[in-house]
């Protein structure tokens, strides 16, 4: 009974139009710091961003020159207004600091740090990851954070804004459904202005951001791609490196200013507008609901709701599952039939990999040295087959016949000639990790990172080479191999990460964990 009631409620929910989700923004700009250098443009940046977001349908909570208590109060107001399915945006311009791997946003009443104040500063500022976690627990479907706080140490005379032992902010693990953008890359300084003569009211990053927020039909990833290039080129005019970083765990597309439909003609009546496609994340959520129920009625309700998006992959998949489910029910409804003597099953086609394994075994039996019989036609197997062909006379086979039934028949025929003796290759001195490795890592907060490491041996058991990951970061890996045990470090420029792994016996893979809490596996290319 409960399942029937639940199904009825779900079908009603799928059949009705989805409630309009709100777009809510929290915009903070802090200029007037009490004990660290004041800033010039953070408030102007926040006011300009607030106005632009308000023009494009966001409800905006604007916070200017806020001490810690006021920042926390307005953050609570922001998260309290968010509902499941909403879009949440956080913009912060002000001082920021990275301490012990966490990024902190500083209120105006933050005290100037001393050697013993690190833990005190953590408690008196706003941890970015905890702010994003608070937003995530509201059920907001989309969360975007834009942080213009990658500034330099305030005790150094410069045109930037930051506080702490290193310049800029560090990497962040963005939760699922979240897009985080920093005004500069990890460890980089974000310029407040290009020079003392620069009269623009906004920072270098924000002045490039504003026109793109207004541009109709510009998807978020395209916005970021264009923005990064402009900021980089502006910074280069001052011989400075600033390349905004982003961390993308967003589901589907996002537009600050969706493209508007064309205006009506003055005389002719405009055709009825085509319904805008539902957000991809909404389709996925409804599809998972229908698939979880697994009934014909659930799938039919889903397909009726998204009938105008028949080309969408999710809709096509739902139709396929519905057809399969209906076929299963029709078969189950048929009366049992008197069993008939089954016709003999057709002979199965030979398995190509099985033929290759037999071929490799036959080549080895003839002394052709094909290596292990793994069913893969690698270089050694091809070379062995070439030696076999060279030892025969009058054969019509060519190298292309490797792996065919005809080649296997020739290898196992009576009177076939053996391959010439091949000198054994010298035994390897030991395992090695030289080469290019592709790795996949699972990190905290459900973050997945892929990348490559290219290692070259530089001494006894020492390997060094470049590393790149899918977050756009690059650095240098130094690894030491002792038997099958690997100890290594990744130098990312401003952060060093250590890791340990165990090499597989065949030397073509390893797995392990890192000091950042990630677990990973890697394979030799």
**Whether the domain at 21-248 and the domain at 435-524 fall into the same CATH topology:** no
Q: For 435-524, which CATH class?
A: mainly beta
- For the chain, the structural domain boundaries read 21-248, 280-331, 352-411, 435-524
Rounded to the nearest integer, the mean pLDDT of the chain is: 81
Q: Are 514 and 496 in contact (CB under 8 A)?
A: no
Q: What average pLDDT does range 28-46 have in this prediction?
A: 91
State yes or no: pLDDT of 274 exceeds 60: no
pLDDT band at 348 (very low <50, low <70, confident <90, very high): low
Q: Helix, strand, or coil here: 262? A: coil
pLDDT number for residue 393: 76
- CA neighbor of 14 nearest in space, from 209, 306, 269: 306
Lowest mean pLDDT among 66-80, 348-362, 425-439: 425-439
pLDDT number for residue 436: 93
Considering 56-60, 328-332, 446-450, 492-496, the range whose residues carry the highest mean pLDDT is: 56-60
| Matching residue, tokens 């410069």 | 158
pLDDT band at 479 (very low <50, low <70, confident <90, very high): very high
- CA neighbor of 186 nearest in space, from 249, 242, 250, 258: 242
209-258 per-position pLDDT tens digit: 999 999 999 999 999 999 999 999 998 998 888 889 888 888 788 999 98
| Distance separating the N- and C-terminal Cα atoms of the chain | 55
DSSP codes joined into one string, 401-424: GTTSHHHHHHHTSTTPPPPPP-PP
pTM flag (> 0.85): no
pLDDT band at 373 (very low <50, low <70, confident <90, very high): confident
- CA-CA-CA-CA torsion sign (161, 167, 168, 170): negative
- CA-CA-CA-CA torsion sign (86, 87, 92, 96): positive
Q: Are 61 and 91 in contact (CB under 8 A)?
A: no
210, burial (CB in 10 Å: exposed 0-12, middle 13-18, buried 19+): middle
491-505 per-position pLDDT tens digit: 888 788 899 999 998
pLDDT number for residue 265: 33
Backbone angles phi, psi at 50, to 5 degrees: -60, -45
| Matching residue, tokens 């029709």 | 330
Rg (CA), the chain: 31
State yes or no: pLDDT of 428 exceeds 80: no
d(CA 144, CA 254): 10
pLDDT number for residue 438: 93
State yes or no: pLDDT of 417 exceeds 50: yes
Q: How many CB atoms lie within 10 A of CB 200?
A: 12
Provide the β-strand partners of residue 478: 464, 489
Task: Report long-range pairs for 124-129 (Cβ below 8 Å, ≥24 apart).
Answer: 124/68, 125/68, 125/97, 126/68, 126/71, 126/72, 126/75, 127/102, 127/103, 128/102, 128/103, 128/104, 128/172, 129/102, 129/103, 129/172, 129/173, 129/445
**DSSP secondary structure code for residue 255 in this structure:** B
Q: Are 145 and 179 in contact (CB under 8 A)?
A: yes
Domain boundaries 21-248, corresponding CATH code: 3.40.50.1460
Provide the β-strand partners of residue 190: none
Q: Helix, strand, or coil here: 236? A: helix
When comparing pLDDT for 391 and 126, which is higher? Answer: 126
Lowest mean pLDDT among 144-153, 210-219, 408-417, 453-462: 144-153
State yes or no: pLDDT of 327 exceeds 80: no
| Kind of pairing between the strands at 509-514 and 178-182 | unpaired
Q: What average pLDDT does range 288-311 have in this prediction?
A: 81
Q: Give the E-state strand segments of 348-484 in sequence order.
A: 435-443, 447-459, 462-469, 474-482
Q: How many CB atoms lie within 10 A of CB 249?
A: 17
DSSP codes joined into one string, 71-138: HHHHHHHHHHH--TT-EEEEEEES-EEEETTEEEEPPTTPPPP-TT-HHHHHHHSEEHHHHHHHHHTT
Lowest mean pLDDT among 231-235, 301-305, 308-312, 459-463: 308-312
pLDDT band at 343 (very low <50, low <70, confident <90, very high): low
State yes or no: pLDDT of 157 exceeds 50: no
Lowest mean pLDDT among 129-138, 319-328, 329-338, 365-374: 329-338
- CA-CA-CA-CA torsion sign (12, 13, 15, 20): positive
pLDDT band at 273 (very low <50, low <70, confident <90, very high): very low
State yes or no: pLDDT of 336 exceeds 70: no
Q: Are 481 and 489 in contact (CB under 8 A)?
A: no
H or E segment and range at residue 331 = helix 313-333
State yes or no: pLDDT of 74 exceeds 60: yes
């Amino acid at each position: 009974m409960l399942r029937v009631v639940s199904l009825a409620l779900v079908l009603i929910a799928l059949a009705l139009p989805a409630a309009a989700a709100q777009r809510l923004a929290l915009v903070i700009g802090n200029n007037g710091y009490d004990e660290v250098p004041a800033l010039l443009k953070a408030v102007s940046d926040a006011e300009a961003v607030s106005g632009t977001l308000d023009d494009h349908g966001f409800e905006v909570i604007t916070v200017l020159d806020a001490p810690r208590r006021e920042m926390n109060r307005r953050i609570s107001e922001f998260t309290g207004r968010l509902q499941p399915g909403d879009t949440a945006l956080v913009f912060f311009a002000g001082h920021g600091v990275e301490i012990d791997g966490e990024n902190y946003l500083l209120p105006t009443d933050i005290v100037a740090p001393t050697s013993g104040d690190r833990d005190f500063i953590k408690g008196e500022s706003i941890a970015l990851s905890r702010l994003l976690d608070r937003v995530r627990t509201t059920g907001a479907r989309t969360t975007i954070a834009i942080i213009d706080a990658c500034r330099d140490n305030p005790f150094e005379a410069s045109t930037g804004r930051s506080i702490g032992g290193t310049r800029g902010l560090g990497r962040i693990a963005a939760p699922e459904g979240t897009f985080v953008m920093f005004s500069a890359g990890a460890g980089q300084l974000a310029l407040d202005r290009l020079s003392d003569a620069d009269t623009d009211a906004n920072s270098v990053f924000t002045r490039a951001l504003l026109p793109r927020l207004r541009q109709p039909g510009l998807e978020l990833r395209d916005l970021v791609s264009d923005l990064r290039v402009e900021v980089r080129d502006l910074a280069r005019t001052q011989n400075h490196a600033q390349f905004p970083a982003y961390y993308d765990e967003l589901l589907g597309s996002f537009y600050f200013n969706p493209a508007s439909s064309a205006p009506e003609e003055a005389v002719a009546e405009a055709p009825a507008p085509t319904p805008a496609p539902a957000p991809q994340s909404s389709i996925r959520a409804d599809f998972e609901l229908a698939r979880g129920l697994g009934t014909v009625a659930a799938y039919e309700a889903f397909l009726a709701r998204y009938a105008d998006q028949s080309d969408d992959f999710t809709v096509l998949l739902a139709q396929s599952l519905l057809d399969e489910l209906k076929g299963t029910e029709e078969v189950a409804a048929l009366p049992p039939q008197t069993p008939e003597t089954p016709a003999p099953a057709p002979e199965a086609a030979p398995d190509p990999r099985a033929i290759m394994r037999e071929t490799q075994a036959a080549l080895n039996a003839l002394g052709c040295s094909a290596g292990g019989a793994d069913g893969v036609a690698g270089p050694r197997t091809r070379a062995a087959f070439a030696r076999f062909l060279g030892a025969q006379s009058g054969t019509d086979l060519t190298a292309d016949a490797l792996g065919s039934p005809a080649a296997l028949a020739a290898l196992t025929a009576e009177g076939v000639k053996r391959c010439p003796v091949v000198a054994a290759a010298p035994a390897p001195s030991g395992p090695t990790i030289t080469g290019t490795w592709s790795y996949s890592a699972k990190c905290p907060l459900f973050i997945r990172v892929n990348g490559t490491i290219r290692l070259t041996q530089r001494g006894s058991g020492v390997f060094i080479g470049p590393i790149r990951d899918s977050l756009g970061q690059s650095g240098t890996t130094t690894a030491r191999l002792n038997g099958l045990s690997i100890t290594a470090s990744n130098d990312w420029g401003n952060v060093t990460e250590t890791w340990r792994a165990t090499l597989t016996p065949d030397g073509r893979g390893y797995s392990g964990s890192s000091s950042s809490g990630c677990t990973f596996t890697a394979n030799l290319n």
